[in-house]
Structure 1
Amino acid sequence: MQKNYKKGIFSWFGYIMPFFERAYHIKKAGFDAISLWWEDEREIKRTEMPEVVREIGLDVDYVHFPYEHCNSIWHIEKNIFCKIIDRYSLWFEECIEKGINLIVLHVEDNPQISPNFAGIDNMRKIVEKAKEYNIKLAVENTRKNEYLDLILENIDDENLGFCHDASHDILTGKGSFTALKRWKSRLFCTHISDNCGKEDNHFVPFKGSIDWESFAADFPKEYKGMLTLEICASMEEIKTLKPEDYLKIARENLLKVEEKIINA
């Protein structure tokens, strides 16, 4: 079993400041890596972000694609699906040019259409397009895991895996890590955060009600990726904590999660 993990955090953690300043604070707090949302910000283009991250000595764990229009994966109409695969193809090309080969995708955004095998055919096309660029895709558990489950049940490909969101899993699994238990053998990356049991709060671990002992017990021992936080400071935290203090607490608590995983 791995004895330690690289530790990352999502580039947006709640404090409003330019991208470079957020990356600097993340580096100063002792994190190893950043995960990126693949969208331009006011002062920086998305394609410039990886270079900024690496120049200050951090790795890029993965890029998270925006999930607007992801429901079109499940549409039978070719013209609807073509729009999203064209968009993904452009982003695949951008990412591989920047040395990024792990992408997180949502496969549903509360769609009005049931999971279906037209969607599986569409998802196979997305996976094949990603493979052309030697990119691995991690589909995330969100609100309706029947879409995720149908994809992973029917597409067994080394380039298609799972991004586990701890907060989502507790909310949809009614207190149990249902998605992690089922798909941990295909785990590519993580979204670690805590919640109050009712909403996706994006709390720092141990600031909510999640049972991290249970998380550690279900976590795959063979996992070789990073432990990455997806957290967002509350208004109260922003008022009372400097960003460097918030990030220090976040990393310290991620170390506690790591310790539980190692000792489980």
Structure 2
Amino acid sequence: MTSIYNAFGYAIDWQERYRLIKAAGFDGVMLWWSDGFGRGPGYREDPERARNAGLVVENFHAPVQWQNDLSLNNQAGESLFELYSQCVRDCAEYQAPALVIHLPNDEFPLNHLGMERLERLVDLAGELGVKLAMENIFNTRNLCKALDSFPSLGLCYDSCHFANDPEAPDLLRMYGKRLMALHLHDNGGGRGQHQLPFDGDIDWTRVMGEIGEAGYSGSISLEPMNWGYEDMDIKEFLRLAYERAVKLKNIGSR
């Protein structure tokens, strides 16, 4: 199975976007679950739109703007917990099997309150049958603490965040058996992230080899943006993205 992040750029009708994703060959989509970062209103209609196009909804991605507030003993911290809780409930309502969450960056260590809130999220997700996948993004001390403390949590492995984080341990070796989601993109381009695979410096033979060795059998999921590809037609962008996804899948199955 191959999937792609839904909000990868281009101003286009959303139902048409999903039709084009399916036409390019992808099986599924990962949905950005908020109206932020340019997504705009109507995101709650995306599960139905995607399924109408014949796509599987792989997961929702929780908002990230307030990720560092999880341990705060104030209204901001409580508001973030309630936001994540609602995202879990939305996964159950819209039949999305998993929620991807950013834990705080490591300069905001998870304290007792942060871990207590995380435990409540784990319990809620367990009650509703939703998987929680923690994504690596300059937060690996918090990430390892959470994964070591809660066995039901999974890892969302982001290839570019890992490649750009000089302090990250070998997450695939440590937690590869707990992979629940992938964000595969390269670190080329002017922003050093969210490029199509093979357009940056990531060693994809190593990455896909470790993913294969971990026994991962889920979707090969890309998280590119059209940054630097703006002159490329959306159909060509998706054609190229799908070609790269298949190439990664073939490397991982060797």
**TM-score, length basis structure 2:** 0.90
Q: Distance in 1 between matches of 2:169 and 2:114?
A: 25
Query: Which residue of 167, 177, 184 maps to 1:185?
Result: 177
1:252 aligns with 2:243: yes
> How far has the Cα of 1:99 moved from its partner?
1.0
1:142 aligns with 2:134: no
**Match of residue 68 from structure 1:** 65
1:52 aligns with 2:49: yes
Query: Which residue of 26, 30, 42 maps to 1:31?
Result: 26
Q: Is the 8 A contact 1:127 1:137 kept in 2?
A: yes
* Corresponding residue SS for 1:17: coil
**Match of residue 3 from structure 1:** none
Alpha-carbon deviations, 1:107-158, whole Å to 9, x = none?
Answer: 01x465333343222211111122221111000000121111111111122x
* Corresponding residue SS for 1:147: helix
Q: Distance in 2 between matches of 1:122 and 1:97?
A: 22
Q: Is the 8 A contact 1:12 1:22 kept in 2?
A: no
**AA paired with 1:195?**
N
Q: Distance in 1 between matches of 2:13 and 2:242?
A: 21
> How far has the Cα of 1:177 moved from its partner?
7.4
> How far has the Cα of 1:201 moved from its partner?
1.8
* Corresponding residue SS for 1:183: helix
Q: Distance in 2 between matches of 1:191 and 1:182?
A: 18
Unpaired runs of 5+ residues, structure 1, are 1-5
**AA paired with 2:158?**
D
* Corresponding residue SS for 2:162: helix
1:238 aligns with 2:230: yes
Q: Distance in 2 between matches of 1:247 and 1:143?
A: 29
> How far has the Cα of 1:95 moved from its partner?
2.3
Q: Is the 8 A contact 2:106 2:142 kept in 1?
A: no
Unpaired runs of 5+ residues, structure 2, are none
Query: Which residue of 162, 170, 189 maps to 2:163?
Result: 170
**Match of residue 146 from structure 2:** 151
> How far has the Cα of 1:48 moved from its partner?
1.0
> How far has the Cα of 1:197 moved from its partner?
9.5
Report % sequence identity.
29
Q: Distance in 2 between matches of 1:88 and 1:50?
A: 18
1:250 and 1:197, CA in 2 relative to 1: closer, same or farther beyond 3 A?
closer
Query: Which residue of 181, 189, 194 maps to 2:186?
Result: 194
> How far has the Cα of 1:173 moved from its partner?
4.1
Which shows bigger deviation, 84-93 or 112-121? 112-121
Alpha-carbon deviations, 1:74-129, whole Å to 9, x = none?
Answer: 23x26543322222222222221111120000001x46533334322221111112
**AA paired with 1:92?**
V
Alpha-carbon deviations, 1:159-182, whole Å to 9, x = none?
Answer: x101000000111147x8722222
**AA paired with 2:197?**
P
> How far has the Cα of 1:64 moved from its partner?
0.2
**Match of residue 88 from structure 1:** 84
**TM-score, length basis structure 1:** 0.87
1:228 aligns with 2:225: no
Q: Is the 8 A contact 1:144 1:172 kept in 2?
A: no
Q: Distance in 2 between matches of 1:113 and 1:238?
A: 35
1:118 aligns with 2:104: no
1:120 and 1:167, CA in 2 relative to 1: closer, same or farther beyond 3 A?
same
